[in-house]
Structure formats: C-alpha cells, structure tokens
Amino acid sequence: MNSDTSVELWLSVVIPAYNYASMLPDAVTSVIKQLPADSELLIVDDGSTDDTGQVVAGLLAQHPDRLRYLHKENGGPASARNLGICSSRGRYLLFLDADDQLCPGILEVLREHVERHPESMLVIGGHWSLAEDGRRTLHAPGTLSELPRERLRNYLLEKRLSLMPSACLFRRDAFVRGNFPEQLRNTEDIPVFAQVLANGACSLIEQPVALMNRHSDSLRHNLQHAKSVGLGLVDEVFSSQRMPCQFQDLRRPFLSQRCLSLFRTFHAAGDYTSAALFYRRALQADWRVIGRFSYTRKVLRMLLAGCAR
C-alpha cells in the first residue's frame, strides 16, 4: 500500500534500473534537462549486476542536488517502483524505465494539464517506440471513455486503450488501493492501471510522453514470464481490494482473453500441449472464443497434426 511519506514536491520521477548501465545516462539527462525546482529524480537500482553503480556515482557527481539513488536486492520492476513510491515526496509520480527517455518539454505540458484537470488521478500520453534498426513509430494511447466500465473494457478486453508506465503520470493517491504487485515479474502494471481506470478520474494528452527503446526479446524469455505469471494476473486485477464489485462481471471475459494470450505465447514457442490447455480454459470461460478464427485455425492445425492432446 501507499506509504504516508510527507509530500513536499510537485513531481517525483522514479527510474527503476536493472542492468541498463549503458542507457541510464540518457534517461537521466532527458529528465534533468526539464526537471522543475520543486521536483525530484530517484534512481532505484534493483540489484544490478553490471556497471550501474559506477554510472550512478558519476551522475551523482554531476547532479548532486537533483538526483537521489536507492539500492535494493533484486526483486523485479514492481518492487523497484514500490520503493520509489514509498521513498518519494512528489504529489505526482512518473515511472520512467531506465532504457527510455522523456520527450523534451513534456514535464511542463503535464504540469499545465494537471493544473487544468486537478481531478485527474492518471494522465495518459502516447509514446515513440525506437526499434533496434533506428526506425521510430508514434503510438497514440487510444480513446478514453468517461465511463469506468467502458475504460476497463477498452483496456482489458478490446485493446483500444494502450497504457505504458513511462508514458503516464500518476497522482499519488492512485495507489491507495494497492501498489504494483511484486509477485508478478511481468505485466505488473496491468492491475494498477485497471484499478485506476475503475476508481478514479483519468485524462489524455495529445503529446507523446516518452521515447521507448524496443529490444528483441527472446522467445525463451517471454515463455519464462508467461509460465511464472500464468493466470495469477487475473486474480490480481480482480482482487476485491483493487476492483469494485460492480465490475467483477468482467472477470470471465478477461480470463478468456488472458488464456488466449497464453495460448499464443506457448503456440509460438512450440509447446502445443500447454497451448491447447490454455485454449480449452479460454473456451470454458467464454464459448464465443470459437469465433476468434485466427486462434481456432491454429487449434485445428494442431489437432490435425496430432499435437494437441
């Protein structure tokens, strides 16, 4: 849960860092160049095993009054963000991944926005993605409904609303119902975004907030995360602490959606037994899954090949 740390500043930018020593200086510079005097920057080192400590020492020497450094044992991105929440002093929080950068001038844009919309618990922006070949792609966040149920459907089920931690501004009380779930090493931001969409006022800005570097994650890496998280994400999103009772009916369609996502991951990895299991779970949660022909075709091919048992 959110701590009662004395709030003295307008903004805390929290950079969770794990083995991105080579990219961390660019992330820090993108913040320092536009950080207001009544704001702070925290680097939370999640037990890095590369040169992150030495890099931060150099950054502290350059910016002794603008930067704070916290070190912890490795616990995953959720635990690093949560330490940032508990240790920060800003009314608003922005979580910038260590391999991302803030767009120039965006903090001023965000400040003007929340001054016009003080009721907003979450400000959602777009982002640039930078591929390894240098190509940039602009991603808009999508459409934000004024109705919490529609916001949840657009985010969890219909994928019409895209939310990225580096491209969003949180008001501190967005975490009253719960912080980032530390048992999830992946998808840990989804329960937090869902709880805010369900319980608080939200708003959009047109400008992209961050530049995000895209890395070619290995299939094995994705599979490990899928196995560790599994269907635990569904339980976390729809825990009674986070999700009001009037939205609990969305649990079954989200369970089906999650099972299809896991089906796709395991199918791509060639683990057809696990893929078939998750397809059956999706079908049990919502029989209309059979009309999702892109998935149904894959299942039929698996059956014909004798892969799904």
What confidence tens digit (pLDDT) does each residue in 48-89 have? Answer: 999 999 999 999 999 988 999 999 999 999 999 999 999 999
Lowest-confidence segment of 30-34, 242-246, 247-251, 269-273 by average pLDDT: 269-273
Last residue of a domain, one of 167, 182, 213: 213
Last residue of a domain, one of 174, 197, 213: 213
Looking at the structure of the chain, the number of domains it has is 2
Residue 223 has pLDDT above 80, yes or no: no
Mean pLDDT, the chain, rounded, equals 92
| 236, burial (CB in 10 Å: exposed 0-12, middle 13-18, buried 19+) | buried
**Domain presence at residue 3:** no
Same domain, 202 and 224: no
Q: Any idea what the CATH number is for the domain that residue 176 is in?
A: 3.90.550.10
Q: Within this chain, do residues 189 and 266 fall inside the same structural domain, yes or no? A: no
The answer as to whether 2 is a domain residue is no
Residue 1 lies in a domain: no
Same domain, 227 and 156: no
Find the angle CA(2)-CA(83)-CA(16) to the nearest 5 degrees: 125
Does 97 lie in the same domain as 81? yes
Instruction: Clarify whether residues 24 and 161 are in a common domain.
Output: yes
In angstroms, the CA 304 to CA 269 distance is: 18
CB atoms within 10 A of CB 8: 10
Lowest average pLDDT, out of 116-120, 151-155, 182-186, 200-204, goes to 182-186
CA distance 247 to 284: 20
Work out the pLDDT band at 129, boundaries 50, 70, 90: very high
Vertex 18: Cα angle to 87 and 188 (nearest 5): 70
Mark whether 178 and 270 lie in a shared domain. no
Query: Do 150 and 19 have their domain in common?
Result: yes
- Beta strand 201-213 with 100-102: parallel, antiparallel or unpaired? antiparallel
Cα Rg of the chain (Å, integer):
20
Domain that holds residue 61: 9-213
Do 173 and 136 belong together in one domain? yes
